[in-house]
Amino acid sequence: MAPVNANSETSPLRGSSAAPQGGPAGISRLRVAVPSVATRVASELRLQIAEGVLPPGTKLKEEALSEELGVSRNTVREAFAELASERLVVRQPNRGVFVASLEVSDIHDVYAVRRAIEVSAVRGGGSPESVAAVRAAVEEGKRAAAAGDSEGLGTANQHFHGALVAMAGSERLNTIMSQVLAEMRLFFHRAAIDGGFYQDYLADNEQICTALEAGDAELAAERLLAYLARSEAHQTAVHTS
Amino acid sequence: MAPVNANSETSPLRGSSAAPQGGPAGISRLRVAVPSVATRVASELRLQIAEGVLPPGTKLKEEALSEELGVSRNTVREAFAELASERLVVRQPNRGVFVASLEVSDIHDVYAVRRAIEVSAVRGGGSPESVAAVRAAVEEGKRAAAAGDSEGLGTANQHFHGALVAMAGSERLNTIMSQVLAEMRLFFHRAAIDGGFYQDYLADNEQICTALEAGDAELAAERLLAYLARSEAHQTAVHTS
DNA sequence: GATTGTTGGATTGTTGAACATTTTGTTGTT
DNA sequence: AACAACAAAATGTTCAACAATCCAACAATC
C-alpha cells in the first residue's frame, strides 16, 4: 500500500545506517542530531497523511506497517504516539489508531486557535525582518499564481500564515501553528478543488502585508480577522455539502 | 525515590486490574475508557513533576523507573513520549530524558502563548455559563485567601485562567492552556515563596471578572493584558536573581 | 425473525530479554 | 596535563511471547 521501500531488509528507515556523518575527508564539527527511527517513521506517515495517500479514517495497523516499513512494532507504536500528540491520528483504546478525520465542529475549533495566535502575533507588530519574511511569502504566492501552480499557491499561503505567527518570535507559538497547519492539510484536499479559491487570498495577504509594512498592526489584525472569518465560512460550506 | 507503590508484584499501575467499572449496582452507560498503563505512568510522573518531587533537570532513567513502577521499559518509554509532547520532559538523543527546566527566555515564550489564547478567549465574550465559571474561580480564590491557604490560592488562580480560556469553547485551546499551565507549575515552586504575591492577583481577577459580567469584553481583555505583563515581569524578576 | 449467547480469530497492550550504538568514566601512557 | 584505548552504563531498537479486548460469524433462544 504505502510506497515506502521495496525490500524491508535494507530499509533506509532502519537505525544502523552506514556512513558516519561527515564523509571521507571532512570531520563533521556540529553535532548532527540524527532523528531516531521512530521519528523518521512518524515523518513518513505524516507525509503520507498530508498528501492524501492515507485518507482520513484509514486504520493504521501496527503489524502491517511494521513490516512494510521494515521496523519493529514497538517503533511504529512510538511513531503513533508522536502523531497522536499532533492530532493527526486518533487512538481508540484496544481498537487501533486511525487517520484523524475532522468534523465540522473541528473546523470551528481549528479556526479558534488560528484567530488566537495569528491575530496576537500580528498585533505585536514584529521585527522588520519578520515582516520581510511575510512579504516574501506574499511574493511566493504571486509567483505561483502567475505560473498557474495551484499546489504552490496553497503552500505559499501556509508559508504566509506561518510567517505571521513567526512575527511573535515564540517557539511555542510556532510549533502550535505548524501543527494546526498540518491538521488543516487534512481537509484541504477537498477544498483545493475549486480554482478561483486562492485568488481572493492573494489580495487579502497583500493587504495584510502592506498594513504591516506601514506599521499599522491594528489594521493588519482587523484584515486578518476578516480573512479568517471568510476562510472559515468557506471551509464550513465546503464540508457541509 | 518515587513513593509509588511498595511491591512491584501487584502494583495497581499494572494493566490487568480487577473490578470492571460501574460498581455492583449501576451500569455505566458511557464508555469508560480505562487509561492504558503507559497513560497512568505518564500521569504519575506528571504529578510528581508538578509537585516538585522530581525537580527540573532530574534525569529519568528508564530502567530505574521501570522497576520502581513495576512496568516494562517499553511502557516507560511510551510515557516519556507523552510527557515530551507536553514539554514537561526533554529528550536528549542517546542521553536520556530530563525533567524540563525553563530558562528565562521560556518565561517570555510561555507568556506569549498565554497572551494569545487568553486574550482571544476573553475578547470573544463567552456564554453566560462560561462567565459564571470564571466567577466561581474568583470566589474559590477568595475562600482560599480567607483560609490562608496559599496552596489553594495558586490552584484557584490556575482555575481562573483556565476558565478564561474555556470561554472560547475550543477543545484545542483548552488542551493548549492546560499544557501551558502544567509548564508553569515547573517554576512556580520558587515563586510561591513570597506571601503577598497572590494578593494582588485576587484583585486583578475580580476586576477582570466584573468586566466580563458587565459584558465589556474589551475592558476585560485590557485588564488581562495588564495582568499578564505584570505577572511576566514578576516571574522574570524572580528567576533572574 | 429478531434478539441474545457463544466461539474463534485478529489486533492491540504489555512484557521480558536480547543486541547494537552511543555516551561516559577510567585507566594507562607519553 | 593531555590523549588514546578501553570498559561500563544507558539508550535505541528488535524480537517473540502472552494477556486482554474487540469483532464478525454462527448457534441458540424466545
| pLDDT tens per residue, range B115-160 | 999 999 999 999 999 999 999 999 999 999 999 888 888 899 999 9
First CA to last CA across chain A, in angstroms? 30
Tell whether B166 lies on the interface with A, counting CB pairs under 8 A.
no
* pLDDT tens, residue by residue, A3-35: 333 233 333 444 333 333 333 333 333 456 678
- Top-confidence range, A108-122, B21-35, B49-63: A108-122
Q: What distance in Å separates the CA atoms of residue B192 and residue B239, rounded to the nearest whole number?
A: 12
Q: Does the pLDDT of residue B93 top 50, yes or no?
A: yes
Measuring CA to CA, how many Å separate A224 from each of A120, A141, B12? Answer: 11, 17, 51
pLDDT band at residue B1, thresholds of 50, 70 and 90?
Answer: very low
pLDDT value of position B194: 58
Q: Does the pLDDT of residue B15 top 80, yes or no?
A: no
DSSP three-state, residue A143: helix
Give the range among A186-190, B4-8, B36-40 with minimum mean pLDDT: B4-8
Asked whether strand D has any atom less than 7 Å from the CB of A135, the reply is: no
Instruction: Quote the radius of gyration of chain B (alpha carbons, Å).
Output: 20
More confident residue, B107 or A33: B107
- Residue A56's nearest CA partner among A90, A93, A96 is A90
Q: Cβ of A139: how many Cβ atoms within 10 Å?
A: 12
Tell whether B113 lies on the interface with A, counting CB pairs under 8 A.
yes
Give the range among A180-189, B61-70, B74-83 with minimum mean pLDDT: A180-189
Non-local CB neighbours of B14 within 8 Å, separated by 6+ positions: B37, B70, B71
pLDDT value of position B2: 35
Over residues B172-199, mean pLDDT: 81
Residue of B nearest to A105 (CA): B170
Give all strands of the β-sheet with B59-60 in edge-to-edge order. B59-60, B96-99, B89-92
pLDDT value of position B240: 82
* pLDDT tens, residue by residue, A49-93: 998 899 999 999 999 999 999 999 999 999 999 999 999 999 999
Q: Does the pLDDT of residue B23 top 90, yes or no?
A: no
Instruction: Give strand C nucleotides closer than 7 A to any protein Cβ.
Output: 11-18, 20-24
- How far does Cα A225 stand from its chain's mean position? 21
Q: What percent of chain B has pLDDT over 70?
A: 83
Judged by CB atoms closer than 8 Å, whether chains meet at B119 and A120 is answered as yes
A102 CA, D20 C1': Å apart: 30
pLDDT value of position B187: 77
The full set of domains in chain A, from first to last, is 1-101 (1.10.10.10), 104-238 (1.20.120.530)
Distance from CA of B209 to the nearest CA of A (A): 20
Q: Does the pLDDT of residue B183 top 70, yes or no?
A: yes
pLDDT value of position A197: 65
Question: 61-90 in A: which are within 8 Å (CB) of B?
Answer: 74, 77-78, 81-82, 85-87
pLDDT band at residue B172, thresholds of 50, 70 and 90?
Answer: very high
Extract the C-alpha cell encoding B53. Answer: 518531587
Over residues A231-236, mean pLDDT: 89
Beta strand residue intervals within chain A, DSSP E: 59-60, 89-92, 96-99
Amino acid at A15: G
Over residues B155-170, mean pLDDT: 96
Give the range among A72-86, A156-170, A205-219, B196-210 with minimum mean pLDDT: B196-210
pLDDT band at residue A237, thresholds of 50, 70 and 90?
Answer: confident
Closest nucleotide C1' to the C-alpha of B36? C13
Judged by CB atoms closer than 8 Å, whether chains meet at A170 and B112 is answered as yes
More confident residue, A135 or B188: A135
Q: What percent of chain B has pLDDT over 90?
A: 68
* pLDDT tens, residue by residue, A80-135: 999 999 999 999 999 999 999 988 899 999 999 999 999 999 999 999 999 999 99
DSSP three-state, residue A13: coil
- Count how many pairs of residues, chain A against chain B, have C-beta atoms within 8 Å: 82
pLDDT band at residue B204, thresholds of 50, 70 and 90?
Answer: very high
Q: Does the pLDDT of residue A181 top 70, yes or no?
A: yes
Q: Is the dihedral of CA A68, A70, A73, A78 positive or negative?
A: negative
pLDDT band at residue B32, thresholds of 50, 70 and 90?
Answer: low
More confident residue, A191 or B3: A191
- Residue A124's nearest CA partner among B97, B229, B61 is B229
pLDDT value of position B3: 31
Over residues B28-56, mean pLDDT: 83
Closest nucleotide C1' to the C-alpha of A18? C21
pLDDT value of position B186: 85
Q: Are A81 and B81 in contact (CB under 8 A)?
A: yes
More confident residue, A241 or A193: A241
Q: What distance in Å separates the CA atoms of residue A9 and residue A178, rounded to the nearest whole number?
A: 34
Over residues B186-213, mean pLDDT: 80
Distance from CA of A120 to the nearest CA of B (A): 5
Q: Does the pLDDT of residue B17 top 90, yes or no?
A: no
* pLDDT tens, residue by residue, A191-206: 655 556 667 889 999 9
pLDDT value of position A187: 77
pLDDT value of position A35: 80
A64 CA, C23 C1': Å apart: 34
Q: Cβ of A81: how many Cβ atoms within 10 Å?
A: 23
- Partners of A115 on chain B (C-beta within 8 Å) are 120
* pLDDT tens, residue by residue, A203-226: 999 999 999 999 999 999 999 999
Non-local CB neighbours of B155 within 8 Å, separated by 6+ positions: B144
